[in-house]
Structure 1
Amino acid sequence: NIPLTYHIKNYELVCHWCGYKKRAPERCPECGYENIRLKGRGTERVERDLQSLLEDIPAIRLDHDTSREQNSPAEFLKQFIETPGAVLVGTQMVSKGLDIPEVALVGVISADTGLNFPDFRASERTFQLLTQVAGRAGRTGDKGEVIIQTYYPEASPIQFALKQDYERFYEREIKEREELSYPPFIRIIRVVASGKETPLVRNTIWEIRKKVGRLARESSLRINILGPAPAHIEKLRGRFRWNFLIKTRSVFRTLELLKLTVKNIPRRVKVKVDVDPVNLL
């Protein structure tokens, strides 16, 4: 149940998680309407719009697809540096660690996208991305300019990033983390069950949740369980996914309890236990 990304070059819809591809429909499969409108601002579309608006300015696109199908990222960057007046269009991979002289202007499209992710680090990652990409401009001493497009200009991560105010962002973020008991004040363990049968997966994750809660009470271990619920990406690579989170101050004791709860689960269900998960999707 993941939205497919439209690729202009091959007229395909592609899943960026599992690689599934299908030809883009010429008409709506539900009602037959022919004038399908494509929304969004992916790198291909931005590159195409730039080429139509600024015909004399070369646009160089660097993303997962171009770096995999054509040249290495280093070759794209070399081309960008050696082409006077060029525009580099890219994903987050162009925002980190690049020290390119004479870059005077940086633009960010849909800067608030990351704020909508169901992750307690969403604000931190948005602030981090914006400050990193802003740092690509004006690195040789000349004043650089950064233009940010967003539907939520009042969002605190965006405001703090605009002002490059690391300390105030940290103070606000750390206070919220403490009030809501999120890292670094607590540890998080994510338990994900997956399988091809939704009822079996749902029943299994509920049984695990009940057992670990009971064992924790019996051993006087204080934990807080959130869920279970369908994962944000509920179906991936043909498998349905349910999950829950455990907040704990004793990771090793909690893992010992989890080992006891997953011993006799059905073979058709896989269970993954992730300590300090990088993402919660």
Structure 2
Amino acid sequence: MTYSFAGIGAMVTGVAMASWGWPFWLALPLAAAATIPVSIIVGVTAVRLKGLYLAIATLTFADALGETFFKYGRVTGGQSGWIVHRPSPFRSDASYYVLLLAVAMALVWMVTGLRSSRVGRAMLAVRTNEREAQALGINVYKTKLTAFLISGVLGGIGGAFLALLLTSVTRSAFQSPLVEATSILLVTVVVVGGIDRALGAFLGAVALVVQQQVFQGARFFFAYFGIYSAALLVLFLLYRPGGLMQVARLQWRLIRARPRVGIAAAAAIIGLNVGLAWLFVRLS
């Protein structure tokens, strides 16, 4: 669902900049605010669902947005979409990536601060055990709805910057089946990196990009990338729900407690990954 929020942010940015002539820095808060009504609708409807049912509901909402909001010509700019231009100091890819990194780190800092706040602690308690959280006096419904709102706003901000990255915002990027595939991929990135920490998303994204660069030109890998991503998601959820952040913490503890065993285990993991990389390249 977060990718659909990003789509709303991207489209609103496109309308504001290309149609209304707004500068990006005015379009940005509008893109974030535009996701709030949708977040409330989705949150109120899906907040009482759990687990698989919640995942199915959010994907259904994402598909519904693709068939309604993203088909409305005045919002999407028709088949050609919206052409947007980056602010003058960030026209080059290098300078724009520096801006994205700065914004991403600022958002990580904000999310980390949120975790230690009263609202953040309530969210963590609800995620761990709803009944115990309710027994502690936490309003589970309100807490979940707040989480949806924050997710929507962050998605809208990301969508605004995505619009500038693409420079051409078209509705096909946020319609089925691409929206579902991208949403699942984003979940995989977060889970693999480590869902317990804000930096986990960074780690998961870096791992994904490194894999894509290593296997660039490996047709076998990209032909089965969807299956590979799904398998990776399931394996981490079953055996390492804390993602690579958890793996790194456990490995560091092992190295400190038993240096030889820890280093040997780390070498074995690296060797296994190198072997798999070689196999994928050979199969291609």
TM-score after normalising by structure 1: 0.24
Q: Which of 1 and 2 has higher RCO (CA within 8 Å, sep 6+)? A: 2
Give the helix-richer structure, 1 or 2: 2
TM-score, structure 2 as length reference? 0.24
Bigger strand fraction: 1
Larger Rg belongs to: 1
